[in-house]
Structure 1
C-alpha cells in the first residue's frame, strides 16, 4: 500500500513542530531544514509524542539541485499528500538573504514538487501578515510577480534599500502573489495550493513596535504555534477540498484593524511597520 507523505520545510521551527504533531499520525513525515542539529532536536520531540515515521533531511532550500534531490527522496517514500513550506521564518538581518529564503527557496519547492502533485495533494506556503502592510501599487509589484527573473534580489534591493524588515514584508507579499499565479498549474494536477499569513508568535518581551501592534490587535495577544498549525491542518485536509489560490490570515485581527492603527500613531512611527 502506498503511503501518504507530508513534507514540512523549516522543520525545526516551532510552527513546523506543532504542525508535525497534529498530522504525524496521518502518514510519513519528511522534515527539511538547513540545520541538522535542529532537526535532530525536533525529531526527539516528535518521538516523545509517539510519532515515529519521520525522515529528516538537511537541505539548503535556496539550492535548486538540493530541493530536486529532496523531491526525489519524497517520491521514493510514497504519494505526496501534503507540502508545507514554513521555511523563511528566520531573523536574518540581510535583506538579500531574506529575499532568497522567502522567494527563491519557495519557488524551488513549488517547481520541484509540482511533478509529484496529484488529486490528493494540498500545498500550503507560509507568508506573513506583514505582507498586507506593503502598498500594492508600487513598481516593485511587477518585479515580485516575475518570481525568478534574473537578478531578482538585486532588483528588489533598489526598493528595500538594504532594510531587512522591508525585504521580509515584500518577499512575503511575493509568496502570496506566486501562490495565486501557480494555483492554476497545481489545479491542472487536481492539487490545491494556498498560503497562510500568521500574525505574531513567540514574542517573549513585547516592547516598542511589537507592543504597538499588540495594542491594536483585537485579540490583544500573540499566537501560539498550535493556533497557526490548526488552520494549516485544515487546508491540508479534505474538508478544504474546494479551497485553492487563497491566502488565509491568522493574525488575531491585526490587519483588519490596521487602518485604525495607522490613524492612531504618527507617520514617523508607522513607517517601521
Structure 2
C-alpha cells in the first residue's frame, strides 16, 4: 500500500504514533522517519525495523526541523506522507491554568505542527503529491472542561488543515490535508488514570469501550493512502460515537 513511499511521523515513540509508524513500515514504505523527543523509548521501539529511521528531535526547534527535512530531501528527494501526531496535555480549569502550561501546549500542539508542515509541504507541492494527516481530538471540535489550552490547539489544527487543503492544491497539486479526531484512546497517556475514570470514559461512549491505537491507525492509514485520493480538508472522528 505504501510501496516506495517516504513517510514522516511525529510523536512516534509510543501509543498512536508508534502504531502508525509500524503500519506504514509493515505495508511497504521505503522509509519511515519516526520523530520523537524520547530517544530511549524511540530507539528501543524500532531497533529491528530496517525501514524506520528514529530521529530524536523537538518539533518546536525550527532550525532542527529545517535541517532534518533538508536531509530527507537529500536522501530521497521526496516526502509522500506526513503525520503530525506529537502532542501534550497540561490540564487545569482556566482559573488555575498557568501561563507556562498554556504556552507549552500551544508551542507543541500548534506551533510544532506548523513548523513541521511548513518545512515539508513545499516538497509535496513541488512533487505534485502528498498526504498530510494531523491529529486533532473531539476536544478540538466540542471542547472539554479543564482543557482550554488543549482544546484551542486541537481546534487550531483543524482550522490550519482546512486552510492547507485549499492552499496546497490551489495550483493543481494533488496534496491533501486532513485531520483525525480521536475520542478516548488506550495509550500510555491514559494508562495511569484511575479505573473509575476509565469506566466513566467507556460509559460515555456508545460503543462502550476506549479506542485502541490500532483503531486510530486504521483511519490514519486510510487518509494516508491513495484510497482517500479525493478526500481533503476533512475531520475524521474516531470516537466510538462519543460526540454525535
Instruction: Give the Cα separation in 2 of the matches to 1:207 and 1:132.
Output: 25
| 1:19-34 matches, cutoff 5 A | 19-24=20-25, 25-34=28-37
8 Å CA contact 2:90, 2:150 repeated in 1: no
Asked if 1:134 is matched to 2:143, the reply is yes
- The 2-side partners of 1:179 and 1:234 are apart by 17
SS in 2 for 1:125: strand
- Alpha-carbon deviation of 1:26? 2.2
Cα distance in 2 for partners of 1:223, 1:77 equals 36
* Separation in 2, partners of 1:108, 1:52: 27
For the residues of structure 2 that align with 1:105 and 1:180, how far apart are their CA atoms? 17
Partner of 1:224: 212
In structure 1, the partner of 2:95 is none
Residue 132 of structure 1 contacts residue 255 of structure 1 at CA under 8 Å; is this kept in 2? no
Question: Which of structures 1 and 2 has the bigger CA Rg?
Answer: 1
Which segments of 5 or more consecutive residues in structure 2 lack a partner in the other structure? Answer: 92-100
Scaled by the length of structure 1, what TM-score is found?
0.75
Q: Tell me if structure 2 keeps the 8 A contact 1:5–1:77.
A: no
If the length of structure 2 is used for normalisation, what is the TM-score?
0.84
* Structure 1 stretches lacking a partner, 5+ long: 136-159, 257-273
For 1:76 and 1:15, locate their aligned partners in 2 and report how far apart those are by CA, in whole Å.
28
Say whether residues 1:113 and 2:120 are aligned partners. Answer: yes
Please state how far the C-alpha of 1:3 moved relative to its aligned partner.
4.6
Q: Give the ranges of 4+ consecutive aligned residues of structure 1 lying more than 3 Å apart after TM superposition.
A: 203-206, 210-213
Structure 1 residue 185: Cα displacement: 2.0
Q: Do the aligned residues in 2 keep the contact of 1:103 with 1:175 (CA within 8 Å)?
A: yes
Query: Structure 2 matches for 1:240-251, cutoff 5 A?
Result: 240-251=228-239
What is the aligned partner in structure 1 of residue 57 from structure 2?
59
CA RMSD of aligned residues (A): 2.0
How many residues matched? 221
**Counterpart selection for 1:99 from 106, 120, 123:** 106
Among 143, 148, 169, which residue is 2:151 paired with?
A: 169
